[in-house]
Amino acid sequence: MNYLVNIFKKRAIFILLAATATIIGCLFFWSRNIAKKPTEVATLPPLPPPGIEQHQLDITPQASELKGKFADFPRQLPVYQIISPKISPEQALLIAKNFGFQDPPLILQDVKLGPTYNWSTTENYLTIITNQSSVSYGLDLLSNPGILKGNLPSPEETKTTALSYLKNQTIPLPQSLEPTVKQVQYLKKSGPTYKPVDSSETADVIQIEFEFKIDEFNIFSPIPNAVPLTLRIGPEMKIVSLDYQPPFNQFNRYHSYSLKTEKAVLENIEAVPQISYLRFPSYQELITKENYQKISLIEFKEVKLGYYQPSLPGEYIQPVFFISGVVQLENKKTGEVFLYLPAIAEEYFVSNL
């Protein structure tokens, strides 16, 4: 009996020491994790909230379908800062030269848009709005309707040619951003516009839309699903039109910040009922203030993580949650609803420090 007691006493010492070490280790780990976030917040430069226009609501959107859809998102993402958001006059002249225009442009001043550079011939035209970095090129189809006669290339040929065309620096692509194909479709000319058709036999052009991404994340414009680069290609691979408005030209990596948790996002949606954009089946329908006041139901169904597109030098390119769903007005009319929600944790913003 005494033998067993002695063994227990000896082992009890080791058990006590092990338990003490475990408790000390747990306390150390706990204290590090408790202190980590305030230290991180204190050392990172504060950010201004992204300039997203929101519309306040009188009803709370339903967001139950969003639960569990945040699991694959990263815990942190870098923020970037815009250096140059616009095309310089020198770049405008170089773009014109790339398109074959040699004469000086007609420069018009617009109160809102700023200087607009214009070139035109009997065959084509080019318009560049330098402050918006927008480029619009096209063939004069009214004077030359025969341009659209002939066989169209295949979608694969179109992709290859279009990417090669863009990489030859016909237009200044954003720094470090590769254009990726979003959609390819056949179109038939119908008056001043084009309508989608099913095959090349009935089409006049093949249209290819491009988007840009940062670190594989989409760049969201203030107008949801807007396309920054569209090419229309006709027979013999002729560029029939090009419309280009990049999200920004040059930018630098700033710092990485922690993102909101799923719980914080869902609580935010409930605490501050708001939406960023409405869209009805008829895109020409004017969205008025009354539309927002007559909403009877909103159901958010999907969420994506990406970057919001700012426009001014020095502004920050910040991650946002792009939340989409359906809306119903009091008159039973239904449409699409979108919410851009800042993805960075609230404690990093200037107003919360």
- What pLDDT is stored for residue 46 in this prediction? 92
pLDDT band of residue 30 (cuts 50, 70, 90) is: very low
How many C-beta atoms lie closer than 10 Å to residue 243's C-beta? 17
pLDDT beyond 90 at 233:
yes
**94: exposed, middle or buried (C-beta count within 10 Å: 0-12, 13-18, 19+)?**
middle
- pLDDT of residue 174 exceeding 60, the answer is yes
Mean confidence (pLDDT) of the chain? 83
Tens digit of each residue's pLDDT (9 = 90 or more) over 303-323:
999 999 886 767 899 999 999
Higher pLDDT, 224 or 11: 224
Phi-psi region of 145 (alpha: psi -120 to 50; beta: other; left: phi over 0): alpha
- pLDDT at residue number 286: 54
H or E segment to which residue 304 belongs? strand 295-308
Please indicate whether residue 26 or residue 222 has the higher confidence score (pLDDT): 222
- Whether 27 has a pLDDT exceeding 70, the answer reads no
Query: Residue 29: which pLDDT band, with cuts at 50, 70 and 90?
Result: very low
Using CA atoms, how far residue 60 sits from 290, 316, 321, in Å, is: 17, 30, 18
Phi-psi region of 277 (alpha: psi -120 to 50; beta: other; left: phi over 0): beta
State the sign of the Cα–Cα–Cα–Cα dihedral 250, 256, 261, 264: negative
More confident residue, 5 or 280: 280
| Cβ contact 279:338 at 8 Å | yes
pLDDT at 328 over 50: yes
pLDDT tens string 194-219: 899 998 889 999 999 999 899 889 99
**pLDDT (0 to 100) of residue 232:** 94
Q: How confident is the model at residue 349 (pLDDT cuts 50, 70, 90)?
A: very high
Query: CA dihedral defined by 155, 157, 160, 164, rounded to 10 degrees?
Result: -120
Of 22-31, 128-137, 174-183, 295-304, the range with the lowest mean pLDDT is 22-31
Provide the terminal-to-terminal Cα distance of the chain, rounded to the nearest Å: 67
Distance of CA 54 to CAs 58, 102, 292, Å? Answer: 13, 45, 11
- Which token pair is 231? 């090419």
pLDDT at 8: 41
What's the rounded Cα separation, in Å, for the pair 213 and 52?
19
pLDDT classification of 287: cutoffs 50, 70, 90? low
* Percent of the chain as helix, strand, coil, to the nearest 5: 30, 35, 35
Q: pLDDT band for position 40 (50/70/90)?
A: low
d(CA 74, CA 67): 16
29 beta partners: none
